[in-house]
Chain A
């Protein structure tokens, strides 16, 4: 179990500053310290330190091949599925190190959902796509409860109105944007607290993209969202925090507004103005 860190912010003996820092710490969802990733002999990520906070959208930007997706896949240990991949360092979620042996990777992934670059609905009906997660985790008490989970997940993914009359049709028959929202609904249905998104809009047209961006803004009320994106406009639109990766290193991380208006590192400056990448 990944236990929530319990710190009471209203402890009377604490001063104002201490309270502030504890408040921040209390909102800390993911703490990444000194993470390095190797594919065989090749090192893909070097000493990443990054704090990710609750109810925020954190955007990971950087040129292709800089390790953003690799980093994202470390957070729910999807890299375990790649034979030659090795991850060092520590990633703490709610204060629990996820690479600890006591952590059940299946449970971890049910709490850290992931949405992939290319919409990958199962070749099953829309209903079965969404109910897949709740079913394998035994979340629904009965059919009625399952129906409810499916409906509310589709509702939250902004897809319910479009598909409510054809839940039996295959999910692969939807349009690209709908498929991606179906994948988001499928992820939400398991009840995660963190949603990882790996370039979720890269294959979508601007209208579908706008819908998903809108959705992200709503979802962050309840979830912590980490998104990898190639579009700096998208990062600027949807995120509160932005982290810039370059050649496997985390170059700079800060408030999105600050990164885009007043970057501290010259490489960040070069990237956002289009000189590298």
Chain B
């Protein structure tokens, strides 16, 4: 019912446009400079909105971070291994001095992201290779959308799946094996996050693998290479730049992911590489810092901006590295 209304509304709105268009063009057959100008301005504005928003966000991150660094030294922020974001409400408060060391948060983020990538990259890539190279079209036609549904599941669902299903299972398995697994382990959050980003890797990789020209496969098969030799030595190298960017996108997604870690990872900032322990991440701490009533000029609140900036820098660096890798190793086919 709704759809019909929308369609009717669209038709109704477009009638004046069509009429005016026909009317104008019945008078002048040359391209109307005003229409051209209007279209051009519209397009420029649209692209500017994206650019300006990005610049605005980065600038606000930057300025708020500068305010934060006036209160807390950047050295402490970048090198201290203790994260204890408290500010004194009164001068004489006990334990009122906070320490803002981002290292444990960064380590936690990296640990969880690494676990997620360990799950997502092999599974996603192999799934993509299967879909692109081996699967029959019929299987592919339902398997690919099915895989993409994974990307459509709200992350909060993954979150409670991680917290209520995966984490207890891991802990019980750990008990049987004699391992001490925290109930909010990095492993639980990371593996569920890995499942979540599988479609990012697989769907994009599948597209780039299929974009490798058939002639290259024919050349390899024609020389007597087997299908797997062809994939390993011809198709994957040719698709590598695309695969790297797919992996990168997945990595940025993992680093920036919030909901799963809020629910399944811990709050305690611990500097550890043990996936069985509870860790916290940059995103979780940003959420914790901003939830509730906060003054907007305390170091505690401003720390969120500094963390945001840090996250942004990490992602940017990752992008840059990937760009260089792609430039160095790409095998260009044309």
Contact = CB atoms under 8 A, between A and B. Distances in A.
B178 interface: no
Contacts of A137: 224
Nearest to B234: A122
B215 A109 contact: no
B332 A190 contact: no
Contacts of B226: 106, 136
Contacts of A124: 237, 331
B54 interface: no
B218 A187 contact: no
Contacts of B238: 122-123
Given A78-B221, A132-B220, A137-B224, 18 more contacts: A78-B218, A106-B225, A109-B224, A111-B224, A116-B222, A120-B215, A120-B216, A122-B219, A123-B237, A123-B331, A132-B233, A133-B224, A133-B225, A136-B224, A136-B229, A186-B223, A187-B222, A187-B223
A48 interface: no
B296 to A, nearest CB: 54
A8 interface: no
Nearest to A81: B221
Contacts of A211: none
Contacts of B334: 172
Interface in B189-226: 213, 215-226
A190 B223 contact: yes
Contacts of B215: 116, 118, 120
A47 interface: no
B221 A136 contact: no
A227 to B, nearest CB: 15
Interface string A30-56: 000000000000000000000000000
B222 A172 contact: no
Interface string B102-128: 000000000000000000000000000
A108 B331 CA distance: 29
A2 B25 CA distance: 73
Contacts of B219: 116, 120-122, 183, 186
A76 interface: yes
Interface in B225-246: 225-226, 229, 233-234, 237-238
Interface size classification for chain A: 20 to 34
Contacts of A78: 218, 221-222
B294 interface: no
Interface string B310-322: 0000000000000
Contacts of B234: 122
A109 B221 contact: yes
A58 to B, nearest CB: 18
Interface of A: 76, 78, 81, 83, 106-111, 113-114, 116, 118, 120-124, 132-133, 136-137, 170, 172, 183, 186-187, 190
A126 B222 CA distance: 18
B136 A110 contact: no
Nearest to A108: B224
A120 B233 contact: no
Interface string B231-264: 0011001100000000000000000000000000
B137 interface: yes
Interface in B289-334: 331-334
Instruction: With a 10 A CB-CB cut-off, give which of B218, B223, B331, B333 has the most chain A CB atoms.
Output: B223
Given A123-B237, A124-B237, A76 B222 contact: yes
Nearest to A183: B219
A50 B334 CA distance: 37
Among B215, B216, B224, B331, max chain A CB count under 10 A is at B224
Contact of A109 (B137, B213, B217, B222): B222
- The 8 A-B residue pairs whose C-beta atoms are closest, nearest first, are A110-B224, A123-B331, A109-B224, A120-B215, A114-B222, A133-B223, A123-B333, A120-B219
Nearest to B217: A81
26 contacts: A76-B222, A78-B218, A78-B221, A81-B217, A106-B224, A106-B226, A107-B224, A109-B222, A109-B223, A113-B222, A116-B215, A118-B215, A120-B213, A120-B215, A120-B218, A120-B219, A122-B216, A122-B234, A122-B331, A123-B237, A123-B238, A123-B332, A123-B333, A124-B331, A136-B225, A172-B332
